[in-house]
Structure 1
Amino acid sequence: MIYVATFKLKADHDVVLPPFTSKVSKSILAYYSPTYTKLSEDAKPFKPIRVTVLKDSKGVVLAVNGRKAMMKGGGDYYFSFTFTDNNILKDLMGKVNAEVEMWGAKIEADIIDLKVIDEVKYEDSTFYKVNFLTPTLIQPPKKVKENRFLLYPYSYFFLASIVRHWNANMDKKVNITFLKSFVYLKEVDHGIRPVSANYDGKPVRGFWGWIIYEVREKKVKELLSYANLFGVGKSRAIGFGEVKVIPVSFEKS
C-alpha cells in the first residue's frame, strides 16, 4: 500500500526559507512522525518515502540560479509526502494539525488530503510528457568517488533510476536491459536545461524542464506512474527529481 499525504502550511509573517524548501517539509514531518524521522536517517538507499519542496499557487518554491525562497505571511503553501509505512500513517492520524516554530516564524500545518493507492495504475497513451519540477540528479555508473550528475534524462539512466527504486520496494520485480530501454522509451521532443541548486550549503548541478517520450511497453508506463509518486534520481526522498508525468497527444513531423 502506498499513501500520499498533502499538507497545507501558513506562516504568521514573511520568512526567508532555506534554498531547498523540502527542509521545511522535513521539519514539519519530524514534528508529526517519529517513525519518519527514524526512517529518513537510515542510510539504506531507495527508501520508500518522498517529501516534496513547498509549492504555492504559481508552482514550486525554490532558490535556484541565485533566487531566494520565501514564504509570504498568511499565504497558503503546500507539500506532499509519499510513504508506505503503516506506523507513519498512525503517527499522522494522531496529529491532523499543528503549529511549529522555525526560521523565526510560527507555521500552521494541516493535513488536508490523504490518498491510499493499492495498485500503481497509469492512463494509457502512446506519448507521455515528463515535467521535471525540481532539479533532477541522475548518475551515470560511478568510476570515481566524486558525484557527477547527467544534464539530460537519457533513456537507460532515467529508467534505471526508477527501476532500482521500484525493485527495492515493490513485490513484482522489473528488469530492463540497456538496449531494450532505447526501444521502450523514445525521446521525441524536449525542453531540458541545466540548473544549479543548493542543499546544506553545497551546490549541486542537475537538470529540469520537460521531455516527451513515445512509450509502447506496459511496464514502462507503470514505471512512469510510479515516478509520479516517488520521483527519479538521487536524493528523491528529500525533493530532488520530483516529476509530473502526463499522457499527451503528439504528431511526429
Structure 2
Amino acid sequence: MIYLAIFKVSADRDTIIPPFSSKLSRSILAHISSSYAKVMESRQPFKPIRVTVLKDSKGFPLIAFNGRKTILRANEIYSFSFSTTSNDIANDLIRRDMIDIKIWNSTFTIELTSLKIVEEIEYIDSDFYRVNFITPTLLQPPKFGKMNRFLLFPYAHFFLLSIARHWNANMKTKIKLSSLKTLYYFKEIDHRIWPVTTIYDGHPIRGFWGWVLYKIEGERENIIRLLNYANYFGAGKSRSIGFGEIEALPTGFLA
C-alpha cells in the first residue's frame, strides 16, 4: 500500500530558502512525524519515502541554479507531495493535518490537503511512455570497486533497474528484470535531455533533466508497473530528498 500526501505551504513574510527547496519540505515533515524523522536518520537503503521540492501555483519546481536564490513570497501558496509505504508516518500526517512552524525567521502554515491511498499500482497499457524528469535525476550504474560515477542520460536499462531495486525493497511482490532483454524490450525513441548542476547542503550536485520517449516491445506488464510506481517514488539516487522526481505518461507516437 502506498500513501500519497499533498501539502500546501505559505510563509508570513518573504523568505529565502535553500536553493533545492525540498530542504523545507523535509523540515516540515520532520516537525509533523517522528516516524518520518527516524526513517531519514536511518542508513536504510531504498527508504520507503519520497518527498518533492516545493512547487509554485503553476506547478513549477522551486530549484535555484547558477548561484541564484530561492525566495518564497509572503502569503503565496506553494505545494509539495510526499509518498510512503509506512502506516506509522501516514497516521502521523492525519493527526497533524494543519500546523504552524517557525524556521528561518519566518512562520510557515502547512495544511495537508489530500491523502490518497493506493492499493494497487496502475497498469495503463501503451506501446509508448513519455518520462518527464521534473527534478535533477542522479542515475548511477553499479559501482566498480570504490569508484563512483553518475550518468547524464537515462539509459533504459539503468533507469528501469533503479526503479526495480526500490520496488523490490518496499513492495510484497518482486519484479525480476533481465539485463539483456531490457536492452531490446525498452528503447529510447526520442529525447530532450541536458545536464544540470544544483546545490544541496552547500555541495554541487550534478544530474540531468528533460524528457525521454520510450518504446515498450516486451516484458510489458513489469515495465509499465515500474513506470507507474516511479510516479510515486521517482528514479535514481537521493529520491527521498527530492531528486529524481518523474512523471511517466502513456502516449501515442507517430514515426
2:57 paired with 1:54: no
State the alpha-carbon separation in 1 of the partners of residues 46 and 34 from structure 2. Answer: 19
SS in 2 for 1:191: strand
Question: 1:168-191 deviations in whole A, cap 9, x for unaligned?
Answer: 011111111221111221111000
User: Amino acid of the residue matched to residue 226 of structure 1?
Assistant: Y
Q: Does structure 1 conserve the Cα–Cα contact (< 8 Å) formed by 2:137 and 2:244?
A: yes
- Aligned partner of 1:103 in structure 2 is 104
Quick one: distance in 1 between partners of 2:35 and 2:177?
33
1:203-225 CA deviation, whole Å, 9 max, x = no partner? Answer: 11110000000124111000000
Check conservation: 1:228, 1:243, Cα contact below 8 A: yes
In structure 1, distance between residues paired with 2:161 and 2:24: 29
CA contact (8 A) 1:184 1:220 kept: no
CA positional deviation for 1:146: 5.2
Amino acid at match of 1:164: R
Asked whether the 8 Å contact 2:30–2:37 carries over to 1, the reply is yes
Give the TM-score, by structure 1 length: 0.97
1:158 aligns to what SS in structure 2?
helix
Amino acid at match of 1:222: R
**Does structure 2 conserve the Cα–Cα contact (< 8 Å) formed by 1:65 and 1:195?**
no
TM-superposition CA deviations, 1:23-53 (whole Å, max 9, x none): 1001100111000000111101001100100
Distance 1:147 1:77, change over 3 A: farther
Whole-angstrom CA distance in 1 between matches of 2:146 and 2:62: 31
Range with greater deviation from structure 2 (62-71 or 5-14): 62-71
Q: Tell me, what secondary structure is at the counterpart of 2:130? A: strand
Match of residue 247 from structure 2:
244
2:15 aligned partner: 15
If the length of structure 2 is used for normalisation, what is the TM-score? Answer: 0.96
Deviation at 1:65, TM superposition (A): 3.4
Match of 1:220 in 2: 223
Across the aligned residues of Structure 1 and Structure 2, the Cα RMSD in angstroms comes to 1.1
Q: Distance in 2 between matches of 1:162 and 1:121?
A: 15
Amino acid at match of 1:115: K
One-letter identity of the residue aligned with 1:120: I
**Aligned mates of 2:23, 2:92 — CA distance in 1:** 20
Q: 1:144 offset after TM fit, Å?
A: 4.8
Q: 1:229 to 1:172 in 2, by over 3 A?
A: same
CA distance in 2, matches of 1:165, 1:7: 24
Q: Is the 8 A contact 1:55 1:78 kept in 2?
A: yes
SS in 2 for 1:192: strand
In the TM superposition, what is the alpha-carbon distance from 1:3 to its structure 2 partner? 0.2
> In structure 1, how many angstroms separate the alpha carbons of the residues matched to 2:25 and 2:19?
13
8 Å contact from structure 2 (residues 188, 213) kept in 1: yes
Q: Match of 1:38, SS?
A: helix
Runs of 4+ aligned structure 1 residues displaced above 4 Å come to none
Cα deviation, 1:98-133, whole Å, max 9, x if unaligned, reads: 001111211100000110000011322111110000
Identical columns (%): 52
- Letter in structure 1 aligned against 2:36: Y
5+ residue gaps, structure 1, are: none
SS across alignment from 2:113: strand
CA distance in 1, matches of 2:47, 2:137: 17
Letter in 1 for 2:22: S
The alpha carbon displacement at 1:16 in A equals 1.0
Which residue in 2 is equivalent to 1:196?
A: 197
Unaligned runs of 5+ in 2: none
C-alpha distance in 1 between matches for 2:145 and 2:67:
29
Q: Which amino acid aligns with 1:116?
A: I
Paired letter, 1:188? I
